[in-house]
Amino acid sequence: MIELVDLLIIPRWIIPVEPAGVLLNHALAVKGGRIVAIVPAGEAKSRFAARDTLELPSHALIPGLVNLHTHAAMSLLRGYGDDLPLMEWLTTRIWPAEQALISADFVRDGTLLACAEMLAGGITCFNDMYFFPGAAAEAALESGMRASLGMIVMDFPTAYASDTEDCLDKGLAVRDRFKGESLLSFTFAPHAPYTVSDDALARISVLAEQLDAPVHIHLHETSQEIDESHTKYGVRPLERLGKAGLLSPRLIAVHAVHLLDGEIDTLARHGCHIAHCPASNLKLASGLPPVHKWIQAGINLGIGTDGAASNNRLDLFADMRLAALLAKGISGEASVLPAATALEAATLGGARALGLDDQIGSLTAGKWADMAAVDLGGLSSQPVFDPVSHLVYVAGRDQVSHVWVGGELAARDGKTLKLNPSDLKARLAYWSAKLAQ
């Protein structure tokens, strides 16, 4: 019996990520927003009747990329505080700008700009940490993009909230408001150990366990952070998280640049995840993490761009390549973080950290059809001996031709289909003028 499906894609290669490997001359069928099957192309044509069939003879079809750490709205601050170390960057440029401008409108517009950039580059899901998560949720839905939104927590007053309790109350209210949206999920997002007290960390630990929600936190990003923790608390930041009960498979440690060998073992033993942000780490001179030791310890690894204010691109193709090359250079082992592992980190690894690996992150029957098609037919990509290697070491985001989220086409040839570029440019001009004042 012939089965009616919504979409049948027949690319040259399918890279499912799970299981690892490359499928040549296969087809992927989509129905109701989910992947129905991946079968040889000849079988697909006799087994399925599709409302829409797309043949992509020079393309690799991959899972949508998962950006495991970003501050999407900070796209409006791109290039505003360049060439400064982290704490000087925060205290002299970013925090004063946020104090002057931050609002729900700022976050909505900045997140729309970020979504347009990410979708065009094959990113179908992002894990965000910023103020006014409700505004970010609205922007993600308007863009047709999947998002995991951080319920940010800081001890000190901001334009968003007055203290820890106010942050939590507002974050949980946003979570309740959007609970039924299939594109959205939520994390607790204490900003960092140096902006959140021990009591707040312990409170978040209890709430995260009760709601079975991930906890997304900057951790051991700089040596200065660790020195200040010793001075103020007498221990390193990771030990504070352990005392608060936060070490579990729910924890996503962002950056994790300065970990001792024993601390790496601790994260591995508790099933924690790391969001590796190689471009941001380099640009802010935060340091070079021992990624090879993370992998050897068995820690699940995802890749994040960080925000456009500190990268300055929301480009996971660039960060995949950088992550793989840095890991080899730091370890002295060319086999460390091979292309297939880097691609997995940028897809399934990120999904796994967010607790979404049963829904996204690989091209597997039953999962949401979050996918990207990458054209490897250009001269600069020839010859193609291994398409997985090409995706990491050769291809760029400009080679992404099609992006689907939940089976719906969200971007094509570098343009998002739900967002108006002229409208985005007008919003950007408004905020740029405000910032210039």
Q: Please provide residue 301's backbone torsions phi and psi, each rounded to the nearest 5 degrees.
A: -115, 130
Q: What is the mean pLDDT of residues 288-297?
A: 97
- Strand-pair partners of 217: 253
C-alpha span between 267 and 264 (Å, rounded): 5
- For range 6-27, the mean pLDDT: 98
- Who contacts 66 (Cβ-Cβ below 8 Å, separation ≥6)? 123, 124, 125, 126, 127, 302, 346, 347, 348, 349, 350, 351, 354, 360, 361
What pLDDT, in 10s, does the model give residues 28-58? 999 999 999 999 999 998 999 999 999 999 9
Q: Which of 190, 149, 187, 185 is nearest to 167 (CA)?
A: 190
Tokens 């024993």 — which residue?
A: 262
80-84, 144-148, 376-380, 399-403 — which is least confidently predicted?
Answer: 80-84
The pLDDT tens digits for 341-355 are: 999 999 999 999 999
Nearest to residue 345, comparing CAs of 387, 400, 295?
295
Q: Residue 288 contacts by C-beta under 8 Å, 6 or more apart in sequence? A: 257, 281, 282, 326, 330
Q: What is the pLDDT of residues 378-412, one digit of tens each?
A: 999 999 999 999 999 999 999 999 999 999 999 99
Per the prediction, the chain carries an average pLDDT of 97
Mean pLDDT across the stretch 117-140?
98
What pLDDT is stored for residue 437 in this prediction? 83
| Host H or E run for residue 136 | helix 133-143
Overall CATH class of domain 65-353: alpha beta
pLDDT of 295: 97
Query: What CATH topology corresponds to 3-63+362-406?
Result: Urease, subunit C; domain 1 (2.30.40)
Domain ranges of the chain: 3-63+362-406, 65-353
Q: Is the pLDDT of residue 142 over 90?
A: yes
**What is the pLDDT at residue 235?**
98
Distance CA 190, CA 231 (A): 21
pLDDT over 90 (residue 253): yes
**pLDDT of 405:** 98
How many C-beta neighbours within 10 Å does residue 319 have? 26
Whole-model pTM above 0.75?
A: yes
The share of the chain scoring above pLDDT 90, in percent, equals 95
Check residue 436 and give its pLDDT.
86
User: What pLDDT was estimated at residue 86?
Assistant: 83
Residues 6+ apart with CB under 8 A from 356: 125, 148, 185
Side-chain-side CA neighbours of 371 within 13 Å: the count stands at: 30
